Amino acid sequence: MIRNRAVLFAFSLIVGGVFVWAAVLKIRDPLAFAQNIANYRIVCNLIAFWIGLLLPWLELAAGVFLIVGLWRRTSALLLSTMLAGFIVLVAVTMVRGIDVDCGCFGSLSGKANLGLIIQDAVLLFMSLTVFLSKADPIRLIGKKS
């Protein structure tokens, strides 16, 4: 297990930063994000609409908390759960033969493909490492998580 505080902080900064960036892009156009969700054909349009409105705010909060070190383990667990869900969603979509943009980064999104699964798996490794670490990474604010 990685115990180097600087590495753990770097992992927190990378994962948190990706989620903050993605959230801001989705918050700017929640209806487009809701349509991206609907394109996966997993949930009905009403549920896609609510996910499109709420999920980016959850991503933003968890990403910011992970970066600044507040509720570090909780944030890392939440983001890890999201990443695992995204990996499963993309894999299922590929198996079903549905060709969609992932919707991850608003209008900057690419296709939901194996590259996206690998990217999410790397982020998942980083967030799980932060979650499972007993060492306290370098923090921007606060004393302990």
Reading the block at residue 95, the tokens are 């198996």
CA separation for the pair 65, 95 (Å, rounded):
34
- What would the pLDDT profile of 80-123 be if each residue is shown by its tens digit? 999 999 999 999 999 999 998 888 877 677 888 999 999 999 99
The predicted model gives 43-47 an average pLDDT of 95
Query: In Å, how far are 3, 22, 33, 78, 139 from 82, measured between CA atoms?
Result: 24, 13, 16, 6, 23
- Among residues 121, 118, 112, the alpha carbon closest in space to that of 90 is found at 112
- What pTM, to 2 d.p., does this model score? 0.89
Per-residue pLDDT at 139 exceeds 80: no
- Rounded to 5°, the CA angle 114-118-124 comes to 140
